[in-house]
Amino acid sequence: MQSNNLKLSTRLIHAGVSPDPTTGAIMTPIYQTSTYVQEAPGKHKGYEYARTQNPTRTALQNALASIENGKFGLCFSSGMAATDAVMKLLMPGDEVIVANDLYGGTFRVFTKVFANYGIRFHFINMSHAENIRGYVNKNTKMIWAETPTNPLLNIVDIEACAKIAKEHKLTLVVDNTFASPYLQNPLDWGADIVVHSATKYLGGHSDVVHGALIMNDAELEERLRFIQNSCGAVPGPHDAWLVLRGIKTLHVRMQRHCENGRAIATFLRHHPKVEKVYWCGFPDHPNHDIAKKQMRDFGGMLSFTLKDDSIEAANRVLSKTELFSLAESLGGVESLIGHPATMTHGSIPREQRIANGLSDSLIRLSVGIEDVEDLIADLRQAIG
Site for ligand PLP, rule CB under 6 A: 78-80, 103, 105-106, 146, 150, 175, 177-178, 197, 199-200, 209, 211
- Based on the residue annotation, tell me whether 49 is a catalytic residue of this protein: no
Nearer to ligand PLP, 121 or 313 (CB): 121
Phi, psi of 218, deg, nearest 5 = -65, -35
CB of 170 to ligand PLP, least distance (A): 20
Nearer to ligand PLP, 16 or 331 (CB): 331
Minimal CB distance to ligand PLP: which residue? Answer: 79
CB 212 within 8 A of CB 192: no
Catalytic residue among 36, 47, 51, 248: 51
CB of 76 to ligand PLP, least distance (A): 9
Nearer to ligand PLP, 65 or 99 (CB): 99
CB of 166 to ligand PLP, least distance (A): 24
- Based on the residue annotation, tell me whether 103 is a catalytic residue of this protein: yes
Nearer to ligand PLP, 58 or 149 (CB): 149
CB of 146 to ligand PLP, least distance (A): 6
CB of 195 to ligand PLP, least distance (A): 7
Nearer to ligand PLP, 79 or 204 (CB): 79
Catalytic residue among 200, 253, 256, 353: 200
Nearer to ligand PLP, 175 or 360 (CB): 175
Catalytic residue among 175, 297, 360, 378: 175
CB of 177 to ligand PLP, least distance (A): 4
What residues are annotated to the active site?
51, 103, 175, 200
